[in-house]
Amino acid sequence: MLGPSALQGGSRSSGGGITPPDIHHTVHTLPPILSPVSLFILTHVEDIIDTGNTLCALVALVQGAGAASVRVCALLDKKARRRVPLQAEYTGFECPDEFIVGYGIDYAEKYRNLPYIGAVKDEFIKHS
């Protein structure tokens, strides 16, 4: 049983880093520790919000499981690519429509360990 506050980690992948996010991934189940979630006020922490498809599905799943509320916190937000109506309650930075790397975000399984946030140049993407 979870107490008044708890931390649960999880992971999702969205296409392997070389295809646009959210194409190959669908959210189906909650991690076991989050079931049941009724009466919980959940804050989901995200590295980057892109199209919003995966995150929207996750929020709907958690709300459908009975969460009292779901808030979204994201380090980066690519609002220009949004395909669904989704607004993060807490956002670090809005970023341009580019492949972003660093701070745990990768491109083709590379650059995840950079100690800063950067963008992959279009010329590099075309040649990889």
pLDDT score recorded for residue 61 = 84
pLDDT score recorded for residue 20 = 46
Q: What is the DSSP letter of 108?
A: T
**Domain range enclosing 40:** 1-96
pLDDT classification of 83: cutoffs 50, 70, 90: very high
Q: Are residues 79 and 119 in the same domain?
A: no
Mean pLDDT of 75-91: 94
Q: Are residues 115 and 90 in the same domain?
A: no
Number of domains in the chain: 2
In sign, the C-alpha dihedral spanning 65, 70, 73, 76 is positive
pTM of this structure: 0.72
Q: Are residues 65 and 105 in the same domain?
A: no
Which residues are CB-neighbours of 23 under 8 A, at least 6 positions away? 14, 15
CATH code (residue 32): 3.40.50.2020
- Which residues are identified as catalytic? 50
Q: Are residues 84 and 102 in the same domain?
A: no
Mean pLDDT of 1-11: 50
For 16-69, the three-class secondary structure string (H helix, E strand, C coil) is CCCCCCCCCCCCCCCCHHHCCCECCEEEEEEEEECCCHHHHHHHHHHHHCCECE
Q: Are residues 110 and 88 in the same domain?
A: no
Q: Is pLDDT of 18 > 70? A: no
Q: Are residues 82 and 39 in the same domain?
A: yes
